[in-house]
Amino acid sequence: MTAGSQTVKTTYREAVRAALREALQRDERVFLMGEDVGRYGGCFAVSKGLLEEFGPERIRDTPLSESAFVGAGIGAALGGARPIVEIMTVNFSLLALDQIVNNAATILHMSGGQFNIPLVIRMTTGAGRQLAAQHSHSLEGWYAHIPGIKVLTPATLEDARGMLWTALEDPDPVLIFEHGSLYNMEGELAEDAGPVEIDKAAVRRAGTDISLITYGGTLVKTLEAAEELGRDGISAEVIDLRTLRPLDTAAIVESVSRTHRAVIVDEGWKSGSISAEIMARIMENAFYELDAPPARVCSAEVPMPYPKHLEDAAVPQRPGIVAAARKVMGCHG
Amino acid sequence: MPSLGADMEAGTLVEWRVKPGNSVKRGDIVALVETEKGVIEVEIFEEGTVDALLVQPGAKVPVGTPLATIRGETQLAQPAPVIAEKPAEAARKAPAPPVSPVERAPIPSPSARRPHISPLARRRAEEVGVDIAAVEGTGADSSITIADIDRAASQAVQPKAPATAAERQAGLRKAIAAAMARSKREIPHYYLGAEIDMSRAMTWLTAENLKRPVTNRLLYSVLLIRAVALAIHDVPEMNGFWIDGAFKPGQGVHVGVAVSLRQGGLVAPALHDADKKSLDELMHDMLDLVNRARAGGLRSSEMSDPTITVTNLGEQGVETVFGVIYPPQVALVGFGKLAERPWAAQGTISARPVISASLAADHRVSDGHRGGRFLAAIDRLLQEPEKL
């Protein structure tokens, strides 16, 4: 936010809605479609009021068939529209994997550069709301495996407000993962907040002793952990990756080369994950800068439990992040 | 660790003159380093900000070891060069015997394992010469961290008393021995001598000094140095280095001036750009150089830059010098005693101040013909002292 600008109190949900409204107003080719985005106002109430404002041509309820409506989005993008497709959760997006991975991500390549797909797909991800094992997983790291798409993970009000327009401007498919526990996050946002860049990680808290690398739903917990570490005299830097594909490797390496220690915090599972990829890049690019083995704080390798206490125990929490950082720092006990 | 002479292999960092975060520019003194030739001030040749000091005071490191990293004005910190890891113990390198799928290779007992040490700490340990086997780790899982290495390095240094005069003297002797043995082993010297009539030079000098207060008077050795420096313009192949089988001309004329030290031994630090300096500047710089050579405080560039050496042994009563070239330089000019001699010119004999100049030169680079021209040029220049 620029110095001196007025701020307003808002929520992550309202910031996403403001971004949708701005996109619909600025470009008549933009339309939103997905399950319950119209009359119901969106499963998480993100698109509430948009049907009334923009009409059923541009706020379209779809049948319960992710494959069909993501495919329709790809077709619309090929035809010159700028579709925003909402999928209720990342778990449901698996029904549309064929469209996303086999079509959206490949058509530019397979057409010899003739047809690009300017499609944006938004979906929620993550746990924390007792929605159990078919609505709560963090599979954005899977999508980060796929060449041909970009993967954004807005974790702040600014990014919730600003990433959508930049994604729409991108000539190729962009997936935006909104962590479900963030929608109610309140904070101050500049009145004139607008588009933000999507290809750089951000240092959310500067520090000198250890780099805590995270994104999305675990950013707030990681920042709280950094504060707690600071009270123990450990100066933790917090890196918000913001974009998982392409990864800002330079920012990771630059930070770790200064602090010589790293902890990666990721609500995904460890095995074959984005956290593993980040570790690999640290090893490849900053091995001789490391003063301790990097550590990871990830979700327990179980389907997400329904009971609150088990769900809380399964995902990264502040005490776990603090403990991992202290261990990397060599603090005993 | 800069090379402060052809045969320097290692140096001991005595003191840092900068701290991380300090900005430095070309020519700043950043550290003091002790070598066999005494304590030398190390200059920096980069502009930027000191990023990290990699070697602790007291550590003796080989030439070429990074001492510190400098962050440029615009660039990010460059990771310091990676030091290759020493080969692991032979036992670990030996190929494992084939095992059946159900059998597992035995896990080495903890005592047989390599010490747990972070890559950063291992790199630092190699830089500062700490034996990691003797370091106790305080990091995660009792691993050795960079802090442990730094602590070990500073402890290792404390008990070590500064080198005594006798030790330094022995070291200096060793360095001279190595350089001179290499010179006689590798350099095919040829020697030329010439008697130079110094009457015009001395007459001019006497008149010139009469006009000056005592403190500003010139010594005739300054005329000799100036004449050698200017003669290089005529015969540039006397000025430079023999490196990797080829002559590399010197960048500028930096005359190494042989200075004997009171406790014995000698050094030959550079008078930089002696061909571009006035006699007054040369006089001032030479006195300064001699003082610092004897008191300590020579700079790294003065030790490594000389492109030709001048030695003047006339004060000892020497008639003629038969010099030994200081490698990798390719020439040395020696001057003997300045004395009145019978001098025949234009059919009469008169007494004139005469000096014997000699040239020892590297036959791989130049031949006697060119060497003769060089001595003749020195003679010619000394006949017109007012133009020096």
Question: What is each CA distance from B385 to A333, B220, B223, B225, B372, in whole angstroms?
Answer: 82, 10, 8, 12, 21
What is the least distance, in Å, from the CA of B144 to any CA of chain A? Answer: 8
More confident position, B71 or A132? A132
Using one digit for the tens of pLDDT, what is the confidence trace for B361-376?
Answer: 999 999 999 999 999 9
Beta carbons of A289 and B76 less than 8 Å apart: no
Q: Which of the residues A35, A135, A137, A178 is marked catalytic?
A: A135
pLDDT at B73: 61
What are the backbone angles phi and psi of residue B302, rounded to the nearest 5°?
-65, -30
B155 touches chain A (CB under 8 A): no
pLDDT at B91: 41
ipTM for the whole complex: 0.72
Q: Which residues of B277-295 are buried (b: 16+ CB within 10 A; e: fewer)?
A: bebeebbebbeebeebbbe
Question: What is each CA distance from B113 to A54, A288, B110, B116, B117, in whole angstroms?
Answer: 69, 21, 5, 8, 11
More confident position, A33 or B53? A33
- Under the banding of pLDDT at 50, 70 and 90, the label for residue B99 is very low
pLDDT at B84: 37
B3 touches chain A (CB under 8 A): no
Q: Name the percent of chain B lying above pLDDT 70.
A: 86
Average pLDDT, integer, range A55-69: 97
Average pLDDT, integer, range B348-354: 93
pLDDT at A1: 46
Q: In whole angstroms, what is the distance from residue A255 CA to residue A278 CA?
A: 13
- Under the banding of pLDDT at 50, 70 and 90, the label for residue B86 is very low
pLDDT at B296: 73
What are the chain B neighbours of A290 within 8 Å (beta carbons)?
Answer: 118-120
A42 φψ region: left (φ > 0), alpha (ψ -120 to 50), beta (else): left
Of B76, B120, B140, the CB nearest to A254: B76
Pairing, β B10-16 against β B259-260: unpaired
Average pLDDT, chain A: 96
- Does the pTM surpass 0.90? The reply is no
Using one digit for the tens of pLDDT, what is the confidence trace for A138-186?
Answer: 999 999 999 999 999 999 999 999 999 999 999 999 999 999 999 999 9
For A108, residues 6+ apart whose C-beta sits below 8 A from its C-beta are: A115, A116, A117, A148, A172
What are the chain A neighbours of B82 within 8 Å (beta carbons)?
Answer: 288
Residue A286 has pLDDT above 60, yes or no: yes
What is the least distance, in Å, from the CA of B241 to any CA of chain A? Answer: 37
Beta carbons of A257 and B121 less than 8 Å apart: no
Beta carbons of B138 and A258 less than 8 Å apart: no
Lowest-confidence pick of A192-201, B64-73, B154-163, B223-232: B154-163
What is the least distance, in Å, from the CA of B373 to any CA of chain A? Answer: 56
pLDDT at B97: 47
Average pLDDT, integer, range A101-114: 97
Average pLDDT, integer, range B279-285: 92
Residue A116 has pLDDT above 50, yes or no: yes
Q: Which of the residues A35, A66, A237, A311 is marked catalytic?
A: A66
More confident position, A33 or B345? A33
Task: Say if CB A89 and CB A79 are below 8 A apart.
Answer: no
- Concerning whether A135 is annotated as a catalytic residue, the answer is yes
pLDDT at B317: 86
Average pLDDT, integer, range B139-164: 78
Question: Searching chain B, which residue's CA lies closest to the CA of residue A289?
Answer: B120
Substitution target from A288, A289, A328 for chain B, most B beta carbons within 10 A: A288
Average pLDDT, integer, range A212-220: 98
Residue B79 has pLDDT above 60, yes or no: no
- Under the banding of pLDDT at 50, 70 and 90, the label for residue B76 is very low
Alpha helices, DSSP H, located in chain B: 90-93, 119-128, 146-157, 165-186, 199-210, 220-231, 279-295, 300-304, 368-382
Q: Which of A48-52, B140-144, B153-157, B204-208 has the highest mean pLDDT?
A: A48-52
Q: In whole angstroms, what is the distance from residue B196 CA to residue B371 CA?
A: 15
Residue B36 has pLDDT above 80, yes or no: no
pLDDT at A328: 94
What is the least distance, in Å, from the CA of A143 to any CA of chain B? Answer: 32
pLDDT at B28: 85
pLDDT at B77: 44
- Concerning whether A66 is annotated as a catalytic residue, the answer is yes
What are the chain B neighbours of A256 within 8 Å (beta carbons)?
Answer: none
CB pairs under 8 A between A and B: 43
pLDDT at B23: 86
